[in-house]
Amino acid sequence: MKIKAYTLFTDSHKPFLVDYFLPTFPFCKDIDLTILYRPQHCKSASFETEGFRETTRDKVKGFIEGIESCGDGDIFMFIDVDIQFFGSFYTDIVHSIKDKDAVFQNDVFGGVNTGFFAVKNNKKVRSFFKTVLGNLDSFSQEQALANYLLNNSSQFPSIAIDWSFLPARYWTYGHIAAQPGKEPNTYRGSWTPGAEDFCVPSDIVIHHANWTAGVDNKIKLLEIVKDKRK
C-alpha cells in the first residue's frame, strides 16, 4: 500500500527542509513525498504571532489537497518540516491505521498533533478537514480546532472520525514538558536553551521540534536530540 505524504515550508523554515527533513527522510518506493512552498505570512516565524493563522490556513488547504488526490481508502500523511527521522515509519503507519480513520502524533498537553498524522481518504475525513478550514478564524490555529472537534465528536457525528495516538517513539519535547517541575504543582514546560537534562526514547522514529519558540531554538533542539541519538 502506498502512502502519499505532504510537507510544507516557507522561507523561514527552509533550513529545516534542507538540513534535517530531507537528509533523514526514509525514502522508499511505497512513500510518495510532495513538498509545498507557500508565502511567508508570519514574519516572526514564531508560534501564534501575526500571520501564523494564515500559515495554518495554507497548511489545512494542503491537507485537503493531499487527501483529495488519494484514491478512496488510500493513506495520506502530513509531516511538518521541522521534523528529523531516525527510522522508517511506513510499517507502523500502515499497521496502526488499519482499523482507524486517522492516527496522530501525541502532543501530550497539546492533544493530537496536526504536524504528524496519517488519515484514510474517506467522506468523514474529508468533511472533518473541510470543517477545520471553514472554522479556522474562530481558533488560534488548526491544531486547537482539530482537538476541539475530536474531543466533542458526539456533537458532530457526521465528522466523528475514529482515531488513535501513535506511540511515544513518534517523539516531541511535549513528553518532557508535561513532567513535574521543580516547584509544587508546576510542569517543566517548553524547551529553552540550556535544558539538556532529558532523555529520548531508545526506539525513537521521529523528533518533531515543537514545544520551543522560534527558528533558532528549534534548530538547537534538533541538534541536541540528534546528539543524544549518536
pLDDT tens digits along 151-160: 999 999 999 9
pLDDT digits (tens, 9 = 90+) for 96-124: 999 999 999 999 999 999 999 999 999 99
Q: Residue 30 is placed in which grid cell?
A: 511505497
**CA-atom Rg of the chain in angstroms:** 17
pLDDT for residue 140:
86
Average pLDDT value for residue range 123-140? 96
CA separation (Å) from 61 to 149, 166, 198, 223? 18, 23, 36, 31
User: In whole angstroms, what is the distance from residue 63 CA to residue 7 CA?
Assistant: 9
pLDDT band at 41 (very low <50, low <70, confident <90, very high): low
Q: Which residues contact 190 (CB under 8 A, 6 or more apart)?
A: 173, 177, 211, 212, 213
The pLDDT score that the predictor gives to residue 55 is 87
Q: Whole-angstrom Cα distance, residue 9 to residue 36? A: 6
pLDDT of residue 46: 59
**Residues 102, 111: Cα–Cα separation, whole Å:** 14
What sign has the CA pseudo-torsion 45, 49, 52, 54?
Answer: negative
Can you give the pTM of this predicted structure? 0.95
With 70 as the cut, is the pLDDT of residue 223 above it?
A: yes
Indicate whether 230 pLDDT > 80: yes
Task: Give, as one character, the DSSP assignment of residue 180.
Answer: B
Asked if the model's pLDDT at residue 54 lies above 90, the reply is no
Mean pLDDT for the chain overall: 95
